[in-house]
């Protein structure tokens, strides 16, 4: 099976994929486009820290990568479990553009959903920006239903 659990030596590649895939569809990128860099840091700094958090400590057991037969990591998905609420969350999923459209994202999503189901979750949630055409089309195609829109605000202090 090309999907396997995350390993620490995958982190650099996950960040490369994230930087490519979230350019233009990240709230951190939107902030930078409207306000410039914050604290001398660009959007990549903030977004890549999300990946650090996704694979830190106990969270790492809910992170999975898609690896080709050649051993190249071409996609990943991360999960968080709220056992008390019974809701799993997918904070990040991304597939290298050279492998998009081949079912990698769908396989990762199905794997994550199976993982959350096996962990006793009753529901799974994911969020995306309206400008993310890929996510806005993909998530409903795997069974997610829109439950609300959220508006993000920022002001310089």
Residue range 3-141 forms a domain whose CATH class is: alpha beta
Going from N- to C-terminal start, the domains of the chain cover 3-141
Distance separating the N- and C-terminal Cα atoms of the chain? 49
Note the pLDDT of residue 4.
97
Note the pLDDT of residue 40.
95
Contact predicate 97/21, CB 8 Å: yes
Give the predicted TM-score (pTM) of the model: 0.94
CA 55/CA 67 separation, integer angstroms: 17
Name the one residue in this structure whose structure tokens are 């951190």.
28
Low-confidence ranges of the chain (pLDDT < 50): none
> What is the helix, strand, coil percentage profile of the chain, to 5?
45, 20, 35
Note the pLDDT of residue 9.
96
Half-sphere exposure (CA, 13 Å, Cβ side) for 71?
Answer: 2
């Amino acid at each position: 099976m090309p999907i396997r659990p995350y390993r620490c030596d995958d982190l650099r590649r996950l960040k490369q994929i994230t930087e490519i895939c979230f350019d233009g569809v990240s709230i951190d990128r939107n902030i930078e486009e409207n306000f410039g860099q914050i604290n001398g840091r660009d959007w990549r700094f903030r977004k890549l820290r999300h990946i650090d958090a996704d694979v830190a400590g106990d969270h790492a057991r809910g992170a999975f990568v898609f690896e080709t037969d050649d051993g190249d990591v071409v996609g990943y998905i991360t999960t968080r479990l709220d056992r008390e609420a019974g809701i799993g969350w997918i904070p990040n999923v991304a597939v290298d553009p050279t492998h998009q459209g081949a079912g990698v994202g769908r396989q990762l999503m199905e794997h994550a959903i199976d993982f959350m189901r096996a962990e006793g979750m009753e529901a799974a949630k994911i969020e995306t920006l309206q400008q993310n055409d890929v996510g806005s089309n993909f998530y409903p195609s795997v069974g997610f239903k829109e439950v609300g829109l959220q508006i993000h605000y920022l002001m310089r202090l």
